[in-house]
């Protein structure tokens, strides 16, 4: 199904092919927020079930469960700037800003997750009911003096012992940053590890 990027057409909506009384509709409005280029628009889309309820005891036959919606826009979607905590004096907000500085929000699901497959240009967005995310394993075997076991750290006697155990981790992280300074992530060189 195709919808033109026309506010009136999107608000009216369009029926899904081969699915009677189910349509996609929404709103297309100007998005005026700091960090967005002039002319940027925000699109909200919803799947609407207009089927009449089934007979008593069989109402669920007309329900829609775990609908997946996929949007394709060849010119590419625009990420929404994250202004959460901007200007905050709290160190946790500063840390989050640093750690997630390259993360963008392209879409938000309502009661469903959103996945953004692909590379740097986002032209496909889809909803998903079972989101997946790869969490890479941290391998510290290259650094034999680094203690990362929570059990080992919990058994240390005092703050001095904890500092002695964690200092090699800070040094190893600083060395890792230096090794990756010229990688595909040029902003990685901004981070400094300090004791």
**Helix, strand, or coil (residue 29):** strand
Q: Which residues of the chain carry a pLDDT beneath 70?
A: 138-143, 182-195
In this prediction, residue 90 carries a pLDDT of 85
pLDDT digit string (tens) for 28-78?
999 988 788 899 999 999 999 999 888 888 888 888 888 899 999 999 999
Q: What is the CA radius of gyration of the chain?
A: 24
In this prediction, residue 116 carries a pLDDT of 87
Give the number of other CB atoms < 10 A from CB of residue 120.
Answer: 5
**Exposure string (b/e) for 148-171, b if CB count within 10 Å is 16 or more?**
eeeeeeeeeeeeeeeeebbeebee
In this prediction, residue 188 carries a pLDDT of 37
Q: Would you state the structure tokens that stand for residue 110, as one six-digit string?
A: 């309502």
Q: Would you state the structure tokens that stand for residue 142, as one six-digit string?
A: 């290259």
Decide: pTM greater than 0.95. no
Confirm if 150 and 138 have CB atoms less than 8 A apart.
Answer: no
How far is it, in rounded angstroms, from Cα 92 to Cα 74?
37
The pairing of strands 22-30 and 41-49 is: antiparallel
């Amino acid at each position: 199904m195709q919808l033109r990027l026309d506010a009136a057409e999107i608000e009216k909506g369009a029926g899904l092919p081969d699915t009677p009384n189910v349509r996609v509709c929404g709103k297309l409005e100007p998005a005026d927020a700091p960090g967005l280029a002039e002319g940027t628009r925000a699109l909200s889309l919803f799947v609407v079930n207009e089927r009449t309820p089934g007979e008593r005891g069989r109402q669920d036959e007309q329900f829609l469960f775990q609908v997946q919606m996929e949007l394709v826009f060849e010119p590419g979607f625009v990420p929404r700037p994250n202004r959460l905590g901007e200007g905050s004096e709290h160190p946790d907000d500063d840390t989050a800003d640093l750690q997630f500085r390259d993360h963008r929000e392209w879409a938000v699901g309502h009661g469903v997750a959103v996945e953004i497959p692909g590379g740097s240009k986002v032209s496909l967005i889809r909803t998903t009911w079972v989101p997946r995310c790869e969490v890479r394993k941290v391998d510290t075997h290259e650094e034999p003096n680094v203690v990362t076991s929570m059990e080992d750290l919990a058994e240390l006697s005092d703050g001095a012992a904890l500092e002695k155990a964690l200092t090699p981790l800070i040094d190893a992280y600083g060395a890792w940053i230096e090794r990756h300074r010229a990688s595909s992530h040029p902003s990685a060189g901004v981070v400094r590890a300090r004791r």
